[in-house]
Amino acid sequence: MYLLSQLQDLVNKQIAESDFNFSASELYDPVKYIMSLGGKRLRPNLLLMSCDLFKGPILDALPVAVGIELFHNFTLMHDDIMDKAPIRRGKPTVHAKWGESSAILSGDAMLIEAYKLISTVDMAALRDVLKVFNETAISVCEGQQADMRFEESNHVTINDYLDMIRLKTAILIAGSLKIGAIIANATPENADLIYSFGENLGISFQLQDDILDIYGNPEKFGKRVGGDIISNKKTFLRLKAMELAEGLDLEELMYWSEYKGDDQDAKVKEVIALYNRLGIREIAEKEMSKFAELALLDLREIKADEERKDVLTSFADSLLIREA
């Protein structure tokens, strides 16, 4: 059995040693840049942890795990372009450094490199792995499309939002875990349970991101606090505030939603104060905890060594205790 720190070291070393085509620096420098920004490496680590949970071949799964991380960063690179985001993990985004056209093309190259790495899996598992990955990849696109549609819609419900983050964020976590299980030749029942665990964990994780966007420490969170408020992003917190606000609170929320002035700091400050009056943070944290508990219930149902399951439980707990 591997320790989590050992799996993290394997992933980081494999990424650092990835052999990109240095002769085409204009294409691959942005790839090396975004991959060098670090991050939690959540998805590849979970893939390897799932593989280890079912006593699978970790070193065979490692290139696939890096392929998943490449795919994830490809989606981030393109999301940043669509969102016109200037900062990613505390550093300038790729399109801010190299321009949108270069970022799009380099992102496309990352997607192809991801497929190359994922296709190195043993032939016995290749078909099932590619099936899960393809379904996962199209779900991420559907989630991003829904997120974009929400920007123009005034009729987004909380259930709509939860389904969007399930597609955009949670399913990639779930798919990573299921791929690790497939590589380890886990039973279909266990593979489905680890997928459900990842889906619920991913929703909980994204809800926490929404909370940290407003209440987090920008130096530790890697983004400007209140970015979702500035962009009027329809997060769980905003949708719940729209649902609960009445009278002057509702008028104030609508005023700041339509605000076109330059004092964005004032907008963030006043909307946070309104959220505090409505108890929005506590409601969001309760919703986050609900999905975390569902994830742990799924994990308990998996038939595997309890010691190995404890590693996943501890990792899930650590993900959901990030500093605000």
pLDDT tens digits, one per residue of 258-306 = 998 989 999 999 999 999 999 999 999 999 999 999 999 999 999 999 9
In our burial notation (b when 16+ CB lie closer than 10 A, e otherwise), range 224-254 reads bbbbbbbeebbbbbbbbbbebbeeeeeebbe
Q: Which residue do the tokens 């829904």 mark?
A: 146
What is the distance between the alpha carbons of residues 154 and 285, in angstroms, rounded to a whole number?
A: 24
CA nearest to 87, candidates 227, 236, 197: 227
**Mind giving me the DSSP string for 25-41?**
HHHHHHHHHHHHT----
Give the model confidence (pLDDT) of 19-50 as tens digits.
Answer: 666 667 889 889 999 998 878 899 999 999 99
Per-residue pLDDT at 20: 66
Cβ neighbors of 308 (< 8 A, separation 6 or more) are 1, 52, 53
What is the distance between the alpha carbons of residues 271 and 274, in angstroms, rounded to a whole number?
A: 5
What is the distance between the alpha carbons of residues 95 and 324, in angstroms, rounded to a whole number?
A: 28
Q: What domains lie within the chain, and their CATH numbers?
A: 1-184 (1.10.600.10), 187-324 (1.10.600.10)
What is the distance between the alpha carbons of residues 144 and 69, in angstroms, rounded to a whole number?
A: 18
Per-residue pLDDT at 256: 94
What is the distance between the alpha carbons of residues 17 and 41, in angstroms, rounded to a whole number?
A: 15
What is the distance between the alpha carbons of residues 25 and 31, in angstroms, rounded to a whole number?
A: 10
What is the distance between the alpha carbons of residues 134 and 166, in angstroms, rounded to a whole number?
A: 16
CA nearest to 256, candidates 267, 246, 266: 267
In this structure, how many other beta carbons lie within 10 angstroms of the beta carbon of residue 157?
11
Per-residue pLDDT at 249: 95
Per-residue pLDDT at 323: 54
Q: What is the pLDDT along the chain (324 residues), one digit of tens a residue?
A: 888 888 889 998 988 887 666 667 889 889 999 998 878 899 999 999 999 999 999 999 999 999 999 999 999 999 999 988 888 888 899 999 999 999 999 999 999 999 999 999 999 999 999 999 999 999 999 999 999 999 889 899 999 999 999 999 999 999 999 999 999 999 999 999 999 999 999 999 999 999 999 998 766 655 667 889 998 999 999 999 999 999 999 999 999 999 989 899 999 999 999 999 999 999 999 999 999 999 999 999 999 999 899 989 888 888 777 654
